[in-house]
Amino acid sequence: MAETETKPNGSAGRAIILLKIAFVFIVIGLIWGGWWHFYARHREVTDNAYVTGNIVNVEPQTSGVVVSVEADTGTFVEKGKTLVRLGKADASVSLERARAELADTVRQTIVTRRRAPEAQAVVKLKETELAKAKDDYRRRSGLADGDAISKEDLENAKSRLEQAKDSLKIAKAQLATAMSARGYGAVEEQPAIERAKARFVEAYLAWRRMEIMAPVSGYVAKRNAQVGKLVNPGQPLMAIAPLDEIWVEGNFKEGQIATIRVGQKVKLTSDLYGGSVVYDGKIAGLGAGTGAVFALIPPQNATGNWIKVVQRVPVRITLDQAQIKARPLVLGLSMRAEVDITNQDGPTLAPIGTVTGSFKTDVYEKQIEGAKELADEVIARAKNGKGE
């Protein structure tokens, strides 16, 4: 009897255990379902995301020998700071030659413009001489009718009249030449001076470009410049990374892009700081194509040897600048991006006319401004008769 009583108790125990296991799985399922319904289905996540930004190459605009390197890898430089100096000997000689030519052109132009009033005075003098010759010839013609003077005197008066007419024609031609050479407008507006000024500006820019400046503020990377090295235009000397203007490029699968919109909020974490540090981001725009399209050797799917590969589309994610300042990031760091896709009001692509990531420098424009100011100073000193 004892054995028969234990069998129902054993079956009941197994049933209770199975019920507990089923209950656990049901609870797990409910938790997972609730997590998916209230959270996961409103998120698109990728670990294929990296910090990126502008990398500004520092290159010479003219040839020269490096005589000084004033920045090294990892140092912070301000916009406009001199990074590399090239030898200036030849450029200085060319600049002084252009300065002298500009000053000499100004002086010659001033001398030429002063010839016009002199030519006008000569014309007036010749007109007076012609009027006098006409009166003399008229008077002698009247005397010749009465045989008061000889025929030879009359011919001489006529000859002087013709000479006076020719002299006046020559004087008027010289006046026209002087007026043409004089030009119109101020001295600075004359073509010869403008050409000389352009040559001076060109020489000045070549001289200034012997000092290679930082186009933007940032950290120096990839320094290749060495003292004594001959460099040519376009040769990379170093690079500058402005780490205060960075963003994240998240590569999402093509199946995830359907729900991603411009303006959606993004939570980002980095391997550098771990999951405890969360960055706030925002979707700025989607790439114009997948990574395969812009590869160095794009895939040729028409060959017949085709295997479907899930493509990824780059998505630009802007970062909160205050957070970047508090927790700096460097280019190339891995990131995990979690996009909140709850709001679907934004466009899939950035609207036409929207400009994101605008980046520019005015360092080189300031060089030309300084050149023009110095050229105007040279012109002013030459006009005032001061030596250069």
pLDDT at position 388: 44
pLDDT at position 298: 75
Banded pLDDT at 162 (limits 50, 70, 90)? confident
Scanning the structure block, which residue is given the tokens 């194509």?
A: 289
Specify which of 5-9, 101-105, 147-151 reaches the highest per-range mean pLDDT. Answer: 101-105
Q: Point out which residues pair with 66 in neighbouring strands.
A: 86
pLDDT at position 78: 93
Tokens of 372: 């023009």
Banded pLDDT at 380 (limits 50, 70, 90)? confident
Q: What residue spans define the domains of the chain? A: 56-89+208-241, 92-192+368-383
Q: Taking 80 as the threshold, does the pLDDT of residue 13 lie above it?
A: no
Q: How many CB atoms lie within 10 A of CB 356?
A: 11
Mean predicted lDDT score pLDDT of the chain: 82
Higher pLDDT, 184 or 167: 167
Banded pLDDT at 132 (limits 50, 70, 90)? confident
**Over residues 319-325, mean pLDDT:** 91
Higher pLDDT, 297 or 342: 342
CB under 8 Å to 72, separation ≥6 — which residues?
Answer: 220, 223
Specify which of 10-14, 28-32, 256-260 reaches the highest per-range mean pLDDT. Answer: 256-260
Q: Taking 60 as the threshold, does the pLDDT of residue 181 lie above it?
A: no
Specify which of 289-298, 323-332, 360-369 reaches the highest per-range mean pLDDT. Answer: 323-332
pLDDT at position 1: 42
The DSSP H or E segment spanning 132 is helix 89-145
The DSSP H or E segment spanning 29 is helix 2-38
**Long-range CB pairs of 348-352, under 8 A, 24+ apart, other chains included:** 348/257, 348/260, 348/261, 348/262, 348/286, 349/262, 349/285, 349/286, 350/262, 350/284, 350/285, 350/286, 351/262
pLDDT at position 96: 93
CATH of 56-89+208-241, one of 3.30.230.70, 3.90.1150.10, 3.90.1530.10, 2.40.50.100: 2.40.50.100
Q: What is the DSSP string of 348-385?
A: SSPPTT---S-----HHHHHHHHHHHHHHHHHHHHHTT
**Over residues 131-136, mean pLDDT:** 76
**Over residues 343-362, mean pLDDT:** 75
Give pLDDT tens digits for 198-225: 999 999 999 999 999 999 999 998 899 9
- Whether 370 contacts 208, CB under 8 Å: yes
Specify which of 9-13, 93-97, 133-137 reaches the highest per-range mean pLDDT. Answer: 93-97
Banded pLDDT at 330 (limits 50, 70, 90)? very high
What is the rounded CA–CA span in Å between residue 159 and residue 260? 102
Q: How far apart are the first and last CA of the chain?
A: 131
- 0.85 surpassed by pTM: no
Q: Taking 80 as the threshold, does the pLDDT of residue 346 lie above it?
A: yes
Higher pLDDT, 117 or 344: 344
Banded pLDDT at 2 (limits 50, 70, 90)? very low
Q: At what angle do helices 151-182 and 89-145 cross, to 10 degrees?
A: 150
Q: Taking 60 as the threshold, does the pLDDT of residue 151 lie above it?
A: yes
- Comparing CA positions, the residue from 83, 94, 92 lying closest to residue 227 is 83
Scanning the structure block, which residue is given the tokens 């009166």?
A: 135
